[in-house]
Amino acid sequence: MANSKAVKRPLPWSLNLGQRRTLLVIGDFFMAILALGISLLYWGSNLVYLKFGLTFLETRVPTWFYLLPFVWVILLVDLYSIHRAADWRHTLRGVATAAVVGLGLYLVMYVIYVEPPNSFLPRRGIAGFLIAASLLTLLWRRVYIQIFTAPQLMRRVLLVGGGMTGQILLKIVNGMHPKPFHIVGIIDDDQQKQNILIEGHVVLGTSEHLLELVAENDIAELIIAISGEMRGSMFQALLDAQEQGVEIIRMPVAYEELLGRVPIRWLEADWILRSFVDEARPRGFYELAKRLVDIIGGLVGTLLMLLFLPFVALAVILDDGLPIFYTQIRSGKGDVPYRMIKIRTMHRDAEPNGTPMRASDGDPRTTRIGRILRKIRLDELPQFINVLRGEMSLVGPRAERPELVNHYQKNIPFYRARLLVKPGATGWAQVNFGYASNIDETSLKLEYDLYYIKHRSAILDFVICLRTPFTMLGLRGR
């Protein structure tokens, strides 16, 4: 039986994915509080007639200024993916984007606020906070990447099952840098698999060796990737390990935690029924609150559309003439058709034979101004009218044409499940993946949609709405 004693043992405070995310939030918030103090000192040092002190804080600093640390953490929402947090280039881009968005929000307030801005909108204080928060956050994130993604702080894991589902999980983990955890090896009751390498990891033994391996290798988690029948001896060994404090995680759950999507090609029908009939039934209050938010958001979005419409309409007319808008039949909740309203971004008669066609990178049917509108998603602003009508929601899967829905149902497992909820102007798949132009990409996007349907909540909706502007600024449209 092979072992991995040569690998360094983890430190006692090794963290799982959820704990790392919590650590990131706490670290960012602490840095933002430090930035708040620095900005107040910087702001107060510029006042000749009033020294920094209690009087300055009471008379010059508005109450909302003390909320900036909370706002900063919210602006960093795109960096709370554990895998993005481990990427320094993505961290630089995320912090810079948060600073730009924060500055933009300040400028909007500066323009619309009617009183003298010096009394309520402190330019020096805001500038000091944004600069200090950006630098301190980058410092903290660098420390996080150097220390908390080190092998010594990784959770040590045994994979139970070396079959197809286990191999899929191993390929995912092997493709991640840095690794989310350290896989010590594989446990499998198939005698023919003993001591062989599967995706670079050795099969260390059977269920008879499980407890011994857990003790020898300081195993914190067991990931169960057995798709067929489980032997009684394996089941008992897993129960014994759990009693000793080892965490047991099923492969679909680990897949969701790692990627934020569900593994549709490796699921059984009973799993989909449990997930979407038993587990994913939202409470009535959530549906009521969601509709109320949709109405408010639809009104705000419609006003925003009216603000941009004169400029967008002029650009569309000068580029390719009329019409400005176009409507298209889409499948809504329960496959009920409705007419989606969008700003036209393609040449007239883009589908001359009437056959639905997916948009693709560099699509020749797209007009010059249409490429810009699609990149920043301004072409989708009229969808807020559909939200007000109740045909769509602010957050949900992207609406598809009935012809494409019928086509994908025949080729992609569980595709119909995405029609359990209203389509959305934005969604979990949109902020994580974007557009899809073929079956494989559509399958991948469906995994995000089903993850949202299973886990939908007010908090997840809020996170998606916060991440949407970052998606637009990232110019990820097609």
Name the more confident of 175 and 470. Answer: 175
Condensed to tens digits (0 to 9), the pLDDT of residues 143-173 reads 999 888 887 778 899 999 998 889 999 999 9
**Is residue 400 within 8 Å of residue 330, measured between CB atoms?**
yes
**Is residue 467 within 8 Å of residue 77, measured between CB atoms?**
yes
Name the more confident of 433 and 110. Answer: 433
Asked whether residue 2 carries a pLDDT value surpassing 80, the answer given is no
The pLDDT of residue 269: 61
To 10 degrees, the CA torsion angle through 192, 198, 202, 206? Answer: -40
Task: Supply 378's token pair.
Answer: 């301004």
Asked whether residue 309 carries a pLDDT value surpassing 50, the answer given is yes
The pLDDT of residue 6: 38
Q: What are the domain boundaries of the chain?
A: 17-148, 155-259, 284-473
Percent of the chain with pLDDT over 70: 84
Task: Supply 17's token pair.
Answer: 């994915």
Name the more confident of 189 and 281. Answer: 189
> pLDDT tier at 214 (50, 70, 90 boundaries)?
very high
Condensed to tens digits (0 to 9), the pLDDT of residues 19-32 reads 888 999 999 999 99
Alpha-carbon distance values, 189 to 57, 242, 247, 251, 364 (Å)? 68, 19, 20, 17, 55
Give the integer Cα–Cα distance in Å for 175 and 279: 30
Alpha-carbon distance values, 346 to 21, 283, 290, 311 (Å)? 42, 41, 33, 18
Asked whether residue 101 carries a pLDDT value surpassing 80, the answer given is yes
3-state secondary structure the chain: CCCCCCCCCCCCCCCCHHHHHHHHHHHHHHHHHHHHHHHHHHHHCCCCCCCCCHHHHHHCCCHHHHHHHHHHHHHCHHHCCHHHHCCHHHHHHHHHHHHHHHHHHHHHHHHHCCCCHHHHCCHHHHHHHHHHHHHHHHHHHHHHHHHHCCHHHCCEEEEECCCHHHHHHHHHHHCCCCCCCEEEEEECCCHHHCCCEECCEEEEECHHHHHHHHHHCCCCEEEECCCCCCCHHHHHHHHHHHHCCCEEEEHHHHHHHHHCCCCHHHCCHHHHHHHHHHHCCCCHHHHHHHHHHHHHHHHHHHHHHHHHHHHHHHHHHHHHCCCCEEEEEEECHHHCEEEEEEECCECCCCCCCCCCCCCCCCCCCECHHHHHHHHCCHHHCCHHHHHHHCCCEEECCCCECHHHHHHHHHHCCCHHHHHHCCCEEECHHHHHCCCCCCHHHHHHHHHHHHHHHHHCCHHHHHHHHHHHHHHHHCCCCC
Q: Tell me the average pLDDT of the chain.
A: 84
Does domain 155-259 fall into CATH 3.40.50.720? Answer: yes
Q: Is 347 exposed, middle or buried (0-12, 13-18, 19+ CB in 10 A)?
A: middle
> pLDDT tier at 277 (50, 70, 90 boundaries)?
low
What separation, in Å, do the N-terminal and C-terminal C-alpha atoms of the chain show?
Answer: 52
Percent of the chain with pLDDT over 90: 42
**Is residue 137 within 8 Å of residue 95, measured between CB atoms?**
yes
> pLDDT tier at 15 (50, 70, 90 boundaries)?
confident
